[in-house]
Amino acid sequence: MIITINREFGSGGRELGKRLADALHVPCYDHQIIEMIASEQGLNEEYVANVGEKCIESAYPLTIGHRLAMMPLMMDQTIRVASAQRQLLEKFATQGDCVIVGRCADVILKQYNPLNIFVYADMDSKVERCMRRAPEGENMTRNEMEREIRRIDKERAQYHAMYADTKWGSREGYHLCVNTSHHEIKKLVPAIAQFCKDWFAEL
Amino acid sequence: MIITINREFGSGGRELGKRLADALHVPCYDHQIIEMIASEQGLNEEYVANVGEKCIESAYPLTIGHRLAMMPLMMDQTIRVASAQRQLLEKFATQGDCVIVGRCADVILKQYNPLNIFVYADMDSKVERCMRRAPEGENMTRNEMEREIRRIDKERAQYHAMYADTKWGSREGYHLCVNTSHHEIKKLVPAIAQFCKDWFAEL
């Protein structure tokens, strides 16, 4: 029972993944994937997060000149991180049932027949959620927050396109797409957990 | 509790709607919408089905000459059917909880805050399902069936575009999108029914 979660930024997909894993009594892998790769490869976590969930272009916001000079190192580290990530995801998948949030696990673990869930919400709900959870002192306006959400989702879509034929967030690549607008995640989880159980029972 | 179902042809969306309505103990409105409009307006059922779920272009496959001559009548009847359909959908919505399959109820009944479900499947599953259910003597090849499925879905999308800002089948317009590939509809319904109940309980 491998369940993957792709999610729009601010839609509550991470929380949904965590709660779904709890409901199914399986582990949830999320940020610790980054921590594990970082520690394994002797790299900084933020750097791994960037390389691992952004496309090459946006992970390295350098000037053209720098970028050219740095190219061999960048490519090498990108490949190292991608390879470490793939091995880690495969390890999780072979260890048993789990929920994996992000990291293109839906595509990378395709041969394990995961159940792929996409979590999304309307822009107002996402802005609302992000404003509520913003760290103290962040003080973004709603407009700035909306731009930030669009930027992050664009990066996720670009990153996904490096691995997948189907478009990030387009229904074809998923088994269930859940709109969380105006709903508490925890209220939606029991039915989704039921869906997962029934789905795997029938395979 | 107004639940609307949009569905790809061959995905089992109609069956899902019927079973979901049964599970929730509410009526399901599907083909009888056409029958009711036809009898009310003194029109032929097939004709109403065409006008009601296709865009004007494809509902009237006439030569240009004929089309021009027929235009006033066609427009008049299209408007009559659209208006009768809207009134009927509103009547259902005000009468109480129900499931409505197709007919753009997701958009037409927007002010009733329906839960909108989109049902889809991969092409192989849809062809399989259609071949299994084809009337005796139809004898379409798989390729012909696939073309037919694409044609019908294209019409549904065009029809939907006459009413909606969001694209038919694009996640933004729905609260839940369910991929039925390789699964029996009846096994998926209990969790979806649970989702609907929890969703409305929280509103």
DSSP string of A74-133, one letter each residue:
HHHHHHHHHHHHHHHHHHHHHH--EEEESTTHHHHTGGG-PEEEEEE--HHHHHHHHHHH
pLDDT tens track for A97-118: 999 999 899 999 999 999 999 9
Tokens coding B153 = 């879905």
Lowest mean pLDDT among A15-29, A121-135, B129-143: B129-143
Q: Which of A176, A190, A199 lies nearest to residue B198, judging by beta carbons?
A: A190
What pLDDT sits at residue B72? 67
Among A130, A166, A112, CA closest to A15:
A130
Q: Which of B187, B192, B202 lies nearest to residue A184, judging by beta carbons?
A: B202
pLDDT at B57 > cutoff 70 = no
SS3 label, residue A1: coil
CATH 2.60.120.330 fits domain B2-197: no
CA angle A185, A191, A195 (to 5 degrees): 125
What pLDDT sits at residue A157? 92
Mean pLDDT of B84-103: 94
H/E stretch holding A7 = strand A2-7
- Distance in Å, alpha carbon of A73 to nearest chain B alpha carbon: 39
What pLDDT sits at residue A58? 56
Among A80, A12, A18, CA closest to A51:
A80
Side-chain half-sphere exposure of A74, counting CA atoms within 13 A? 16
What pLDDT sits at residue A162? 82
Residue at token pair 């839906």: A106
What pLDDT sits at residue A73? 67
pLDDT tens track for A116-135: 999 999 999 999 999 998 88
Tokens coding B17 = 């709607």
User: Domain spans of chain B?
Assistant: 2-197
What pLDDT sits at residue A19? 98
Inform me whether the C-beta atom of residue A186 falls under 8 Å from chain B C-beta atoms.
no
User: pLDDT tier at A37 (50, 70, 90 boundaries)?
Assistant: confident
Strands of A98-101's sheet in order across: A28-29, A98-101, A2-7, A115-120, A176-179, B176-179, B115-120, B2-7, B98-101, B28-29
Q: What DSSP assignment string belongs to A164-180?
A: -SSPTT-GGG-SEEEE-
pLDDT at A57 > cutoff 60 = no
**Mean pLDDT in chain B?**
89
Q: What is the DSSP letter of B110?
A: G
Selected residue with higher pLDDT from B55 and B122: B122
B126, B12 Cβ separation under 8 angstroms: no
- Distance in Å, alpha carbon of A25 to nearest chain B alpha carbon: 18
pLDDT at B64 > cutoff 80 = no
Name chain B contacts of A178, Cβ cutoff 8 Å: 175-176
What pLDDT sits at residue A68? 62
What pLDDT sits at residue B183? 95
The ipTM estimated for the assembled molecules is 0.83
User: pLDDT tier at B45 (50, 70, 90 boundaries)?
Assistant: confident
Sign of CA dihedral A97, A101, A177, B146: negative
Sign of CA dihedral A147, A148, A151, A157: negative
Name chain A contacts of B197, Cβ cutoff 8 Å: 191
Under 8 Å CB pairs connecting chains A and B tally to 74
Percent of chain B with pLDDT over 70: 88
Inform me whether the C-beta atom of residue A201 falls under 8 Å from chain B C-beta atoms.
yes
Inform me whether the C-beta atom of residue B165 falls under 8 Å from chain A C-beta atoms.
no
Tokens coding A124 = 């107002």
Helices (H), B96-184: 105-108, 123-133, 142-163
CA separation for the pair A110, A126 (Å, rounded): 29
CA angle A23, A25, A31 (to 5 degrees): 90
Beta carbons of A169 and B171 less than 8 Å apart: yes
